Every structure is written in C-alpha cells, then in structure tokens.
Amino acid sequence: MKTTDPRYHPVRSFVRREGRITEAQKRALEELLPRYGVAPGAAPIDFTELFGRDAPVHVEVGFGNGEALAAMAAANPQNNYLGIEVHRPGVGMLLRRLVADGIVNVRVACTDAKELLECCIPDCSLSAVYIFFPDPWQKKRHHKRRLVQTEFVGLLARKLKPGGLLHLATDWEEYAQQMLAVLTADKTFENTAEADPFMPRPQGRTLTRFEVRGQRLGHGVRDLVFRRTPR
C-alpha cells in the first residue's frame, strides 16, 4: 500500500553510491569492523563499555575517507571518537588507517547518522560533534536533503552536553549561510566566534581533500563553531 506519510518515506541527506570498493577495503570491513564497529540497535550505547574507558566522546558525522577523524584521534588520545559514515569504501579506508597508525580511541558506525543518534546515543552524552563538508545538494529542489536542518540541529542539541561544541565546515557559501541561520535560530546554541560569525579554520581541523578541491575551484571555506548552552 502506498503512503505519503513522511515517517515511511524519510528524506535522506545521502544516496548510497558504493562506487569501486577495493579488495583491501572489503577485507577491512570483514575483518576489522567487528573489532572497531558499532552495530546499530535499539539499546543506548554504553560508551564506557564500548571504548573500555570513561573519556569525553566526540562524534564525526559523515567522515568520508576518515582522514580528519584519524588525525583528530591521533592528536587527542585523551578523547574517544565515534565516526559515522554510510559509504562502505570510506569506512574500509578508515579501518585500515586505524590499524596502520595504531589508533585505538576510534569506533565506527556504518549507518545513517540520524537513526543512530536518535535511537542509540544517550542524551547529554557527547562533548563535541563535527560535520565537515556535508553534501551541499546544490539544486534548490534538493535543499530538503541537506543534513543541517532545524530538526537535525535540535537532535544534536539533545545529544550534546552543556558546553559541548558543534563544529561545521563547508565550501558552499549558500549552504554556509543556511547553517548559520539554523544554528542562530536555535537558542540552545551560542556562536563561539567574536567579530565575524564565521571563523578561520581551527588549528585542530585537518585540511581534507574536499577542502583542497573546493579551494582549487575557488570556493571559500566557512567554519562555524557553536557551543551548547545550559537549558
């Protein structure tokens, strides 16, 4: 039976394009995902059990090939990092990098970030969330697919601890303005920038291939860092 109820036809911010997945990436998914992976389920994640220790939890949504996530985790061993990505080749690349570089404070979920956040991540449990260069869905008719929308930002506000940070970056100017408008309208967040609402790339954010490509195309990169306020 067909239905127009959006609960049964959710608008997703991604399209699964597997592309070419290498044999090495396939092996990483088969052999390493059981070790580093987080299986989606109905029960909330116990982060202390998942990581084997109690430490601040940082989440990157849509980590691509994992270069920024691996760099952050290596540079900040005092934190735990959870990466969420739907595209299997990128997950395979990150898993291989974790082993090659001896990075032990990362766990990976190969699933829809919205669903994982909603059902599996406890409220007020995250110290930071990163969303770097999400798909801008350039055509106006596709703007509804953009990840950074009012509802999703409200979900992140629930999951972040008071004082937790939400760091966004994009090289698409119009999307940057939308991100700014959505975050400014949500009074559970405050902008950490001072004079300009956007800030230069923070030292801790690795220059990604998406950013390099955007700069090559003449796109300006915008960073937004907002802080979750106490309610």
The residues that are catalytic are: 135
**DSSP code string of 87-151:** -HHHHHHHHHHHHHHT--SEEEE-S-HHHHHHHHSPTT-EEEEEEES-----SGGGGGG-S--HH
* Pairwise CA distance, residues 15 & 129, whole Å: 22
Phi first, then psi, for residue 183 (nearest 5°) are -70, -40
Cβ atoms of residues 190 and 226 within 8 Å: yes
According to DSSP, residue 64 is labeled T
For 63, phi and psi rounded to 5 degrees? -85, 0
Side chain identity, residue 65:
N
CB 73 within 8 A of CB 82: no
The number of residues making up the chain comes to 231
